[in-house]
Amino acid sequence: MLHKELTWFFVIFSREFRQDKRIAFETLMFLATAHFFGFYNPKQLADFLDIPHQGLYRAIEGWSIYYLREMLVRFMVRQAAEELRPLLGKSDATISRAGITVTFDNSVVDRLGKLLRCTWSWYSGRCKKVVMGNDLMGIVMTVRGIAFPLHLLFCSKQGRANTDRPDLLISMLKRLTEEFAREGIDLTAFPLTFDSWFASGDLKKRLRALGFKKIVIAGKGNHTFTIGKTKQKASSWKKTLRLIADQWGIDVPSLRTGAFSPTFGSVVLFFFRKNTTRTYYLMDFSPVPLRGAEIWCIWKQHHIIGCFWKILKSVLGTKAMRLQGDGLHTALLIKVIAYMLAARLSMRKPFFKMSVTEIMRKIRRESDLEDILREHFHLPILNT
């Protein structure tokens, strides 16, 4: 059941990395596989197998941050490239139906620091002195409704180190365009979406300079736009503009219009109403403005990155694994490998279109963890 998918990871590791750390990598895969049986950290797994947990921790020590980041990026890019290649040779209509988009977002991870206790429940026990390693920035590719992570990077929420998000985004995209170019794929041909919390006219120019041709960004209510001869905030435009229902290719009331912003310059706005009360809008940063149906089709995939964050945190238990020092990156690698393994299984016949939770339940019902470990893993610690 798992043999083919586990073999894929070992083959990629042996091809891409020359350091003699096969036992350490096998331990990482061992810990990732255990997630399907509800063991989310080395201590839980060691207790179940009745082996010393110190051996598992020692086995995954010694990886440098550079090496861990390289493994993350290369595994993720190889998996996404495998899914893209069969599609790229087909018609434009088939590629469009696959809903291929590149999405950027960040997710707050439990923050480390001093606790400040107060009597108010909303304030009690929260970390107020923030240190590095609390926010996780991520770029995810969506293909046929499945999220394939491409690049994940820890950064500090506040403080003086590594807080320039636009620069980090550009560096992440540059790295990914180089990696996909080695696979013979032009990443900039796919639409790019993200929220506008750090968008600017300068960022728009830098994204275009990278070669991205379709850029759609969620707008905020406090941005000011001039439409016609009237200048007001987007929150006011949402209330005054009349949206049109039943437009071709758009299943919600919407309106596409040109505007000028002192922050972004000339920009195309796309207003839409998802329910009877709330109106949202998007900004089109593309060099050649997109049609309304194109903007809507691209943005419909954006929510999938939120689903990815939820799986990583809630289903795979990011909080359950707290490794010291550089172990923050080791824990992330283990969680992502577990997710990638589940994503690969979801495209195979026995698990086709199953959610990660359903896959985990099916494996638990039909397999035994100790049998899997004896069959696929040959770690010295298992013999202690």
Distances (CA, A) of 125 to 136, 140, 317, 384: 22, 32, 20, 41
Residue ranges of domains in the chain, CATH in brackets: 1-63+326-384 (no CATH), 91-315 (3.90.350.10)
Q: How confident is the model at residue 325 (pLDDT cuts 50, 70, 90)?
A: low
Give the whole-number percent of the chain exceeding pLDDT 90: 49
**What stretches of the chain adopt beta strand conformation (E)?**
101-108, 135-143, 146-155, 192-195, 215-218, 224-227, 230-233, 254-261, 265-273, 279-284
- The better pLDDT of the pair 176, 66 is held by 176
Tens digits of residue pLDDT in 2-58: 888 888 998 888 888 876 678 888 889 989 999 999 999 888 988 888 888 888 888
Query: Are the CB atoms for 142 and 84 separated by under 8 Å?
Result: no
Q: What is the model's pLDDT at position 115?
A: 44
SS3 state of residue 226 = strand
Cα–Cα dist 254/291, whole Å: 12
Give the whole-number percent of the chain exceeding pLDDT 70: 88
- The better pLDDT of the pair 222, 225 is held by 225
pTM: 0.87
SS3 state of residue 331 = helix
Amino acid at 288: V
Q: What is the model's pLDDT at position 129?
A: 42
Q: What is the mean pLDDT of the chain?
A: 85
Complete edge-to-edge strand list for the sheet that includes strand 265-273:
146-155, 135-143, 101-108, 192-195, 215-218, 279-284, 265-273, 254-261, 224-227, 230-233
Residue 121 has pLDDT above 70, yes or no: no
Distances (CA, A) of 351 to 43, 314, 335: 29, 21, 20
Of 217, 273, 220, the C-alpha closest to 243 is 273
Count how many Cα atoms sit within 13 Å of the Cα of residue 29 in the half-sphere of its side chain. 26
Q: What is the model's pLDDT at position 277?
A: 72
Tens digits of residue pLDDT in 175-185: 999 999 999 99
Cα–Cα dist 125/189, whole Å: 46
What value does the mean pLDDT take over residues 324-345?
87
Tokens of 269: 């706005």
Residue 162 has pLDDT above 80, yes or no: no
Tokens of 205: 């120019």
Cα–Cα dist 354/344, whole Å: 11
Q: What is the model's pLDDT at position 126?
A: 42
SS3 state of residue 34 = helix
Of 259, 202, 258, the C-alpha closest to 225 is 259
Neighbour tally for 308: CB within 10 Å: 22
Of 224, 216, 223, 306, the C-alpha closest to 270 is 216
Low-confidence winner among 25-34, 44-53, 113-122, 334-343 (lowest mean pLDDT): 113-122
Distances (CA, A) of 63 to 22, 45, 236, 341: 12, 21, 52, 21
Distances (CA, A) of 378 to 46, 112, 310, 374: 15, 36, 33, 7
What value does the mean pLDDT take over residues 195-208?
87
Cα–Cα dist 345/4, whole Å: 10
What 8-state DSSP symbol labels residue 111?
A: P
